[in-house]
Amino acid sequence: MAIKIRLARGGSKKRPFYRIVAADSRMPRDGRFIEKLGTYNPLLPKDSEDRVQMDVERVQYWLGEGAQTTDRVARFLEAAGVTAKKERNNPKKGTPGKAAQERAEAKAAKAAEAADAE
């Protein structure tokens, strides 16, 4: 059985609240889970201590049992100092979209025409 440490959404519409859970990876996001490990409230300010609360001992137990974390939970664990920070690489993140590239090319062509006219 593949165990994931992930977020399970709760709360009402437009008022999210998440539980950090250890769950079988085949179960639905908000479905059955094995154990509740903590909570995450994204509506609280980033510097609030109540924003992310975890039972670190249980998280370490599940990691020792071979559980995999989702990206968001891995970031919480890195911030808490439970796991080592890993390098992330997203080379496409900083590149502009197709429409922005077309606008930049049109602007450059217009500037070149203006320079040639002078």
DSSP string computed for 90-118: -TTTTS--HHHHHHHHHHHHHHHHHHHH-
pLDDT value of residue 12 = 93
Give me the pLDDT at residue 85, please: 86
Residue 100 pLDDT class (50, 70, 90 cuts): very high
Predicted pLDDT of residue 95:
85
Token pair recorded at residue 84: 């080592």
- 1-118 — its CATH code? 3.30.1320.10
The answer to whether residue 23 scores a pLDDT higher than 90 is: yes
pTM above 0.95, yes or no: no
Residue 88: the pLDDT is 78
Average pLDDT, whole number, for the chain? 90
Torsion angle of C-alpha atoms 85, 46, 35, 23, degrees rounded to 10: -60
Is the model's pLDDT at 28 over the cut of 90?
no
Distance CA 47, CA 57 (A): 23
pLDDT at 9: 93
Q: How far is CA 99 from the centre of its chain?
A: 27
Look at residue 43 in the predicted model and tell me its pLDDT: 94
CA distances from 34 to 19, 25, 62, 70, 80 (A): 12, 11, 11, 16, 22
